[in-house]
Amino acid sequence: MGTFLFSEIIFGPVSSRRLGVSLGINLLPTDYKFCTFNCVYCECGWTLKSHKKIQLPSQEEVKQQLEIVLKDYALKGKEINSITFAGNGEPTIHPQFAEIIDDTIQLRNQWMPQAKISVLSNASQLNKEKVTSALTRIDQNILKLDAGTEKTFKLINKAQENLTFDKITAYLKSFNGDVIIQTLFLKGEVDGEKFDNTNSEEIEAWLQLLKEIKPVKVMVYSIERDTPSDNLEIIKPDALKKIANKVEKLGFLTEVY
Ligand code: SF4
């Protein structure tokens, strides 16, 4: 299927179901995906093993380009709801991620004070205190949890070997609730093995993890764009709503997209 890459550091704004008018920031290379996960549904395609020298934008480049766009929008009276770190892979991999967050907060306050700063992350870099601390300074710390069990986590997210499910879930719990959880529900087959993160065993385990993470919000959704794997099945809105009802019964704000 036709996955795609973002060709700019600053992209959009796009109309996002979850974030409204969203101006994207891509801290990753513009010609290939760079991530610690290899999710079967990733809209950027498979994570390829590359021997190329990784080219990431500098802190200064990101700051300059962001200021140009924010200033232009502000002077034209156009609104942006979210300045969103996403792009071609995992944004927190960037070695100056924390400093770039601080630049973004300063530029947002100056030019677009009503905009929220959002980070979409797979939580894999939360062994770095600088990254964790930066995520506590933004408005929407949106972290991925696509499974209730290690087996399904491995099949769906295909994370680097050192990133175990226990490690990732411990990182999510470490925010003491100052986190939004995003979960993509799907069924399919990968490497000859079937998975379904909507079956009762998975949902029960996932709900138990939510009780321990205590998120401010849970975002529930399914595949919406092209995926690198063809063997995937979208979960219908009615089934997503049933899952969301279970989360709401635990007392967590839940949004279905
Ligand atoms: S964590 Fe995000 S960028 Fe990385 S493979 Fe998964 S969906 Fe793609």
Residues in contact with ligand 1 by the CB-under-6-Å rule are 35, 37-39, 42, 44, 47, 89-90, 122
User: What pLDDT sits at residue 53?
Assistant: 79
- Is 5 a domain residue? no
CA distances from 190 to 143, 163, 185 (A): 23, 19, 15
> From the alpha carbon of 144, which atom of ligand 1 is closest?
1
- Is 4 a domain residue? no
Rounded distance, CA 62 to CA 57, Å? 7
Pocket probe mutation, ligand 1, options 40, 44, 223, max atoms within 8 Å of Cβ:
44
Residue 244 phi, psi dihedral angles, 5° rounding: -60, -35
- Is 227 a domain residue? yes
User: What pLDDT sits at residue 6?
Assistant: 84
Among the listed residues 77, 43, 15, the one whose alpha carbon sits nearest the alpha carbon of residue 232: 43
| Structural domain for 74, as ranges | 10-256
- Is 3 a domain residue? no
**What contacts 45, CB < 8 A, 6 or more positions away?**
3, 4, 5, 33, 228
Question: What is the number of structural domains in the chain?
Answer: 1
| Pick from 1-10, 144-153, 182-191, 219-228: least confident | 1-10
> From the alpha carbon of 124, which atom of ligand 1 is closest?
1
pTM of the model: 0.95
CATH label of the domain that carries residue 139 = 3.20.20.70
Among the listed residues 251, 253, 224, 228, the one whose alpha carbon sits nearest the alpha carbon of residue 14: 224
User: What pLDDT sits at residue 48?
Assistant: 81
Closest residue (by CA) to atom 3 of ligand 1?
Answer: 89
- Is 2 a domain residue? no
- Is 99 a domain residue? yes
- Is 138 a domain residue? yes
Residue 2 — pLDDT band, cuts 50, 70, 90? low
- Is 142 a domain residue? yes
